[in-house]
């Protein structure tokens, strides 16, 4: 028998090494074969149909035929890679360790590195409108956050643009988020000395330069190859905090390492902190493992997303997925409403599909008990949308609540965060003294942040503007986006007549237009006196 002799190398006729860093779990029945031969690129290239689909990931060959219809992201995206090296495409959306989730026996063995030229090329990826950032307007021409949209749209493949820019159902929640900021007006004070202003505050005890932070956004690898790393490089330089998504492209620990490295480069002068956004998997064991990992990595707060027991209806993504499936000859792509029974350990990513095992729809308030025991740090509920739940969060001892409708991506016609903020002010103002209240959704102008602060919010989360800035200009864009918001914010403070955030008062804004539409408990039946 031929035994493994060396690590990670193929001599052409020698054995293949199990235990090499990228060796997969080869089915025992195939073990012997794998000890003596590698797979040839030409052989792999012959398996590019839905009847037999092989792909290469990280130098290993996988038979994914049976997995095609079970892939939560749809069959078409994998079939496009049939007979080809899928590593690049795969790494854009999943950590490499995801391959372990393929059905047992899928790994056929290593690819002979001398035969990679014989592999198929993946079906042509959607061309970007432009390929070089030099063709984009100079970053300094972005003077309001909306200016990042057009460059991002040009750089991103259409489906990723769609994924980031659209929302649920007919898009009314997203529109409401954006519009409501404009419906609150300032009531400025004059003739106060506003020569210098202090824009600093703290979030969960961590100092920040400005009362806004970068919202949790999944699968950033779609918008920039350095994904979360590049986003971090931008916002740490500006002293902002960031919330890292469970659905991140890069691993939990890698993201923290990048953060620490960036901090080191700045001589630890940036007050930035990383928090972690948690999507609770259905399996408590998996959830516990994840929480322990997050804690060990050093994240400072757990932001549990509570507005996503299931994924909202991402209409535009659905259309694209149906088109893509048809283009690959898959008339019936997997019905998004009927996910495969198998469970997997990963975060919901994107694409508007239901992802089995990754979102617990049965979570209740009582679950906060065991989560807290494991986590033992500050907890923020992300996605509180009415006064009653704000009060419950207070009673359950949460350190914070984030009023949010998930950027309009979840419940159709869900209230904007500002509407919920007003509801809380009206029906349970005691909440403000007990926990920190954050808002997000549709914030595009730094001046608007100040309205939320006047109404009692601690800070505002900003999502898409940072994502688009990252897509078009990398960390430079993120810095620029932070600069735009901070300059607008500081200017607004001066024009409103305040020099520090503790001077921001509810009477400095006129929220009557929103208050008129705010929910009210049903009045007793009206009795006519006539
Ligand atoms: C190894 C096992 C795999 C697992 C467990 C897995 C899991 C997932 C999950 C959970 C999603 C997110 C769906 C959503 O939230 O909408 C997804 C999407 C996606 N996956 Fe995979 N995947 C695997 C393999 C692959 C492979 C081999 C490829 C090929 C390159 C791939 C490419 C993609 C793409 C492009 C999407 C986005 C789909 C869309 O936008 O509709 N995945 N996958
Ligand atoms: C592309 C994209 C991905 C997102 N991914 C997540 C996520 O993984 N987890 C989460 O809790 N919220 C996620 N959100 C919601 C944001 O955290 C935030 O609530 C929202 O984007 C704020 O609205 P804005 O984008 O209009 O600023 C995502 C939003 C977008 C646009």
Ligand nearest to the CA of 60: 1
Q: Could you give the CA distance from residue 71 to residue 64 in angstroms, rounded to a whole number?
A: 9
Q: Could you give the CA distance from residue 24 to residue 43 in angstroms, rounded to a whole number?
A: 19
Domain that holds residue 478: 145-309+359-517
pLDDT at 245: 97
Residue 154 falls within a domain, yes or no?
Answer: yes
Asked if 72 and 322 count as a contact pair (C-beta separation under 8 A), the reply is no
What is the tally of structural domains in the chain? Answer: 1
Task: Quickly count helices (H) and strands (E) in the chain.
Answer: 18, 15
pLDDT at 330: 81
Joined tokens for residue 332: 């019936």
Enclosing H/E stretch for 181 = helix 172-183
Evaluate the CA torsion angle 28, 29, 32, 37 in order and state its sign.
negative
Sheet of strand 54-57, all strands in order from the earlier edge strand to the far edge? 54-57, 60-63, 107-110
pLDDT at 344: 28
137 CA from centroid of ligand 1 (Å): 33
**Would the CB of 82 count as within 6 Å of ligand 1?**
no
Ligand nearest to the CA of 308: 2
Asked if 424 and 387 count as a contact pair (C-beta separation under 8 A), the reply is yes
pLDDT at 262: 98
Interacting residues of 468 by C-beta distance below 8 A, sequence separation 6+: 148, 149, 151, 152, 164, 223, 477
Residue 102 falls within a domain, yes or no?
Answer: no
Question: Which among 446, 483, 475, 473 has a CA at the least distance from the CA of 462?
Answer: 446
**How far is the CA of 338 from the CAs of 137, 353, 379, 418, in angstroms?**
44, 10, 33, 35
Residue 81 falls within a domain, yes or no?
Answer: no
| Residue 379 bridge partners (DSSP) | 302
Residue 480 falls within a domain, yes or no?
Answer: yes
210 CA from centroid of ligand 2 (Å): 20
Q: Could you give the CA distance from residue 80 to residue 324 in angstroms, rounded to a whole number?
A: 10
| Pairing outcome for strands 212-214 and 206-208 | unpaired
Interacting residues of 10 by C-beta distance below 8 A, sequence separation 6+: 16, 38, 110, 112, 113
Asked if 307 and 58 count as a contact pair (C-beta separation under 8 A), the reply is no
The residue whose CB lies within 8 Å of the most ligand 1 atoms, and thus the one to mutate among 161, 342, 349, 353, is 349
**Would the CB of 161 count as within 6 Å of ligand 1?**
no
347 CA from centroid of ligand 1 (Å): 11
pLDDT at 334: 54
Interacting residues of 442 by C-beta distance below 8 A, sequence separation 6+: 174, 176, 177, 178, 179, 180, 181, 407, 408, 416
How would you write 17-28 as a 3-class SS string? CCCCCCCCCCCH
**How far is the CA of 53 from the CAs of 57, 95, 219, in angstroms?**
13, 21, 25
The residue whose CB lies within 8 Å of the most ligand 2 atoms, and thus the one to mutate among 409, 448, 466, is 409
**Would the CB of 346 count as within 6 Å of ligand 1?**
yes
> Ligand 1: which residue has its CA nearest to atom 21?
73
Joined tokens for residue 257: 């390492």
Q: Which CATH number characterizes residue 499's domain?
A: 3.20.20.70
361 CA from centroid of ligand 2 (Å): 19
Asked if 388 and 212 count as a contact pair (C-beta separation under 8 A), the reply is no
163 CA from centroid of ligand 1 (Å): 14
| Residue 54 bridge partners (DSSP) | 63
Residue 111 falls within a domain, yes or no?
Answer: no
Atom of ligand 1 nearest to the CA of 324: 41
Q: Could you give the CA distance from residue 156 to residue 165 in angstroms, rounded to a whole number?
A: 11
**Would the CB of 416 count as within 6 Å of ligand 2?**
no
Residue 15 falls within a domain, yes or no?
Answer: no
Atom of ligand 2 nearest to the CA of 305: 11
pLDDT at 530: 62
**Would the CB of 314 count as within 6 Å of ligand 1?**
no
**Residues annotated catalytic, as ranges:** 406
Residue 305 falls within a domain, yes or no?
Answer: yes
| Pairing outcome for strands 436-440 and 206-208 | unpaired
| Pairing outcome for strands 185-186 and 107-110 | unpaired
Biggest CA-to-CA distance, the chain: 103
146 CA from centroid of ligand 1 (Å): 30
pTM summary value: 0.82
pLDDT values of the chain reduced to their tens digit, one per residue, 530 residues: 222 222 232 333 333 333 344 456 565 555 555 555 799 999 999 999 999 999 999 999 999 999 998 887 788 889 999 999 999 888 877 878 889 889 999 999 999 999 999 999 987 656 566 656 668 999 999 999 999 999 999 999 998 999 899 899 989 999 999 999 999 999 999 999 999 999 999 999 999 999 999 999 998 998 999 999 999 999 999 999 999 999 999 999 999 999 999 999 999 999 999 999 999 999 999 999 999 999 999 999 999 999 999 889 888 888 888 888 888 888 655 544 433 332 223 445 444 455 556 788 999 999 999 999 999 999 999 999 999 999 999 999 999 999 999 999 999 999 999 999 999 999 999 999 999 999 999 999 999 999 999 999 999 999 999 999 999 999 999 999 999 999 999 999 999 999 999 999 999 999 999 999 999 998 777 666 66
Residue 54 falls within a domain, yes or no?
Answer: no
**Would the CB of 348 count as within 6 Å of ligand 1?**
yes
**Would the CB of 94 count as within 6 Å of ligand 1?**
yes
């Amino acid at each position: 028998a031929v035994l493994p002799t060396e690590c990670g190398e193929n001599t052409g006729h020698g054995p293949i090494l199990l235990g090499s860093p990228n060796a997969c779990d080869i089915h025992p029945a195939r073990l012997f074969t794998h000890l003596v031969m590698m797979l040839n690129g030409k052989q792999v290239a012959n398996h590019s149909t839905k009847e037999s689909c092989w792909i290469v990931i990280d130098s290993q060959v996988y038979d994914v035929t049976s997995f095609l219809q079970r892939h939560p992201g749809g069959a078409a995206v994998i079939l496009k890679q049939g007979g080809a090296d899928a590593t690049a495409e795969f790494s854009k959306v999943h950590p490499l360790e995801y391959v372990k989730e393929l059905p047992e026996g899928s790994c056929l063995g290593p690819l002979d590195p001398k035969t990679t030229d014989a592999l198929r090329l993946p079906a042509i990826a959607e061309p970007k409108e432009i390929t070089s950032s030099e063709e984009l307007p100079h970053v300094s021409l972005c003077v309001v956050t909306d200016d990042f949209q057009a460059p991002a749209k040009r750089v991103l493949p259409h489906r990723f643009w769609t994924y980031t820019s659209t929302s649920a159902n007919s898009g009314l929640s997203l529109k409401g988020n954006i519009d409501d900021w404009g419906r609150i007006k300032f009531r400025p004070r004059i003739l106060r000395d506003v020569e210098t202003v202090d824009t600093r505050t703290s979030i969960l005890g961590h100092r920040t330069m400005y009362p806004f932070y970068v919202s949790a956004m999944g699968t950033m690898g779609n918008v920039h190859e350095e994904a979360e790393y590049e986003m971090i490089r931008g916002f740490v330089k500006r002293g902002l905090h960031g919330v890292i998504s469970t659905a991140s492209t890069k691993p939990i620990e890698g993201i923290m390492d990048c953060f620490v490295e960036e901090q080191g480069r700045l001589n630890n002068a940036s007050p930035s902190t990383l928090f972690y956004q948690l999507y609770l998997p259905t399996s408590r064991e998996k959830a516990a493992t994840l929480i322990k990992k997050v804690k060990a990595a050093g994240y400072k707060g757990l932001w549990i997303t509570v507005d996503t027991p299931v994924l909202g209806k991402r209409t535009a993504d659905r259309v694209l997925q149906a088109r893509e499936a048809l283009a690959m000859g898959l008339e019936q792509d997997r019905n998004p409403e009927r996910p495969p029974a198998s469970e997997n350990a990963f975060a919901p990513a994107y694409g508007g599909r239901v992802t089995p095992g990754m979102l617990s729809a049965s979570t209740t308030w009582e679950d906060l008990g065991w989560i807290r025991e494991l986590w033992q740090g500050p907890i923020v509920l992300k996605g509180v949308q009415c006064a009653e739940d704000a009060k419950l969060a207070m009673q359950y001892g949460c350190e914070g609540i984030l009023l949010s409708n998930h950027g309009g991506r979840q419940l159709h016609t869900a209230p904007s965060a500002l509407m919920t903020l007003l509801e809380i002010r009206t029906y349970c103002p005691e909440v403000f003294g007990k926990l920190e209240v954050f808002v997000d959704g549709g914030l595009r102008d730094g001046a608007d942040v100040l309205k939320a602060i006047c109404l009692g919010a601690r800070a505002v989360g900003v999502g898409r503007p940072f994502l688009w800035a990252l897509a078009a200009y990398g960390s430079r864009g993120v810095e620029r986006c932070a600069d735009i918001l901070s300059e607008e914010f500081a200017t607004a403070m001066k024009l409103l007549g305040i020099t520090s955030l503790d001077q921001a008062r509810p009477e400095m804004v006129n929220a009557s237009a929103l208050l008129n539409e705010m929910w009210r408990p049903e009045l007793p039946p009206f009795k006519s006196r006539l």
